[in-house]
Chain A
């Protein structure tokens, strides 16, 4: 049975850039898919195709069982879209914004008004309901934007980086709202650059880079796929980084990752606690002082870096970031993998 969101072989070019390069997705009804990737990876393009804003060059997609390309207007009745930039009219009040969206979802004026009232209460905006959105804080605007996407309680929701730029408190609030939604049975496709967010909210995760899905599975599956444990060492002096990386390279099972700034070295290992003792002994033999050492289970960060870091190496800086914004996160993902 195909999921509430189902896409096969989506391809979209912008000039020479392959924003989508054969993406398949399947989100079972009532579940959350986290689409994870750096800026310019193709996340936003995928959302735009699935929400009928953009026609793919090839491929097909169904949302809520309806063909996106053949019946876009029917799809629009069944989806809610909450974007990266809070798309509300800042010169209208919160209430007016929600009423307008309700009416454009073809609710009657009375129903739209009633829905606006309910949503303003639910999103904790009742006190600010009759102020223009211009006076709202970033978190309030984002909540209003999300409320606008929920006016008709669509069965399928798309959220494009819903918490980008929010402070931790507002992010937590938004997460609570999203979890409540999913509990109510909504199918959700969520894009994010934050692994923590995907880990926290998503049942399944697709890692996407350069328009391709490069890994998929649950958070645990992805972590397992990356391998088992790793040893992390923080050396006391920057000068010791090279020597320490030699030690770790000899004892570890793969490449040593160095974060220069924090003097932290990481290497995948097998052998657990026994090996940790070896590492400490060898470091000590060479007179390398350490601030911290530990055996770590892989985090989703490790998954992400090992996957996208590799991809970024083979095809670097070819203007791929033009579509999703400023490419900042792409650099963030790459900078930790100094070799």
Chain B
């Protein structure tokens, strides 16, 4: 009789060199690939994801454009240039809802159980999902930038600064998908994740400098807008694009928007990634 702990057959040895970070990255990419394949098979989702911000561009610039006051100017062309940073930022945050719904659906259908029973890196299911969403967000931004250019938006500070602005936008979007991941793990159904993922975005994106000049707000609302992480990214983009409507304010994030945007996004990722991964490990499904 052999030793009591000997299994019936040798267990399949994984590549032993890949522990820790290497395995984590590899597993995340496997899951990201899976989610991207999924997206390519359900193009409707991607297309609706594109239609929505384009619709906002058109509605805001033509419906509100004539009656808006940006830095003393009521010219609708000025408003259109002003608006784009806000629409870009709002668009990247809407990726939250997709991430949440996708994860809730995986829980619902038992796929999360399958993943949790596999010898894979513990954060990889969520990291893979958020990376796939990042790719989708980048794609959306490209299309949206073209549409924005068509209605008259331009960047005036050179390509490197414009790319830096898009980098900040993607980072913000990535941060928000981790919030979505946590929501997706916390609700019972994909439908709840979709609405739960969207509902809080409205105050976050509207109590900000995204669509109106926040210096026209009443003072308490204005303070919220000035310190809103979302506003920091919008302000940073306007500076980097050289677009009008940069808010004049004493608030630190409004004075150092690029740095503030980076700090906010990193904090959101660190916090919500930790919470989401913990929730994932303990989720009873």
B residues within 8 A CB of A91? Answer: 37-38, 41-42
Interface flags, A79-108, vs B, CB<8A=1, else 0: 101011111111110001000110111111
Interface flags, A145-186, vs B, CB<8A=1, else 0: 000100011111000000000000000000000000000011
Question: Are the C-beta atoms of A65 and B5 separated by less than 8 Å?
Answer: yes
B residues within 8 A CB of A100? Answer: 30-31, 33-34
B1's closest neighbor in chain A, by CB?
Answer: A1
With known contacts A1-B1, A96-B37, A106-B119, A77–B8 Cβ distance under 8 A:
no
A132 within 8 A of B: yes
Once bound together, how far apart are the Cα atoms of A25 and B162, in whole Å?
64
B39's closest neighbor in chain A, by CB?
Answer: A91
Question: Are the C-beta atoms of B113 and A83 separated by less than 8 Å?
Answer: yes
B12's closest neighbor in chain A, by CB?
Answer: A152
Once bound together, how far apart are the Cα atoms of A224 and B115, in whole Å?
42
A residues within 8 A CB of B117? Answer: 51-53, 76, 79, 81
Question: Are the C-beta atoms of A92 and B34 separated by less than 8 Å?
Answer: yes
Question: Are the C-beta atoms of B114 and A83 separated by less than 8 Å?
Answer: yes
B18's closest neighbor in chain A, by CB?
Answer: A106
With known contacts A53-B285, A83-B110, A91-B42, A104–B8 Cβ distance under 8 A:
no
Question: Are the C-beta atoms of A53 and B4 separated by less than 8 Å?
Answer: no
B72 within 8 A of A: no
Q: Which of B12, B109, B115, B124 contacts A85 (CB 8 A)?
A: B109
Q: Which of A4, A51, A89, A155 contacts B111 (CB 8 A)?
A: A89
Once bound together, how far apart are the Cα atoms of A106 and B18, in whole Å?
9
With known contacts A87-B114, A104-B118, A185–B37 Cβ distance under 8 A:
no
With known contacts A65-B5, A77-B119, A153-B12, A89–B110 Cβ distance under 8 A:
no
Once bound together, how far apart are the Cα atoms of A213 and B277, in whole Å?
35
B residues within 8 A CB of A186? Answer: 8
B4's closest neighbor in chain A, by CB?
Answer: A1
Question: Are the C-beta atoms of B113 and A106 separated by less than 8 Å?
Answer: no
With known contacts A65-B4, A87-B110, A92–B12 Cβ distance under 8 A:
no
A residues within 8 A CB of B226? Answer: none
A residues within 8 A CB of B285? Answer: 48, 53
A103's closest neighbor in chain B, by CB?
Answer: B30
Interface flags, B104-133, vs A, CB<8A=1, else 0: 000001110111111110001000000000
A65's closest neighbor in chain B, by CB?
Answer: B5
Other than the known A104-B27, A106-B14, what 14 A-B pairs have Cβ atoms closer than 8 Å? A1-B1, A29-B8, A51-B117, A65-B4, A78-B11, A81-B114, A92-B38, A101-B114, A103-B30, A106-B15, A107-B14, A148-B114, A153-B9, A155-B9
Name the 3 nearest CB pairs between A and B, nearest first.
A106-B14, A65-B5, A87-B110
29 contacts between A and B (CB under 8 A): A1-B4, A2-B4, A53-B285, A65-B6, A65-B7, A74-B119, A76-B117, A77-B14, A78-B7, A78-B11, A81-B113, A81-B117, A84-B110, A87-B109, A87-B111, A88-B111, A89-B38, A91-B38, A92-B34, A92-B41, A96-B34, A96-B37, A101-B114, A104-B27, A104-B119, A105-B14, A154-B12, A186-B8, A187-B8
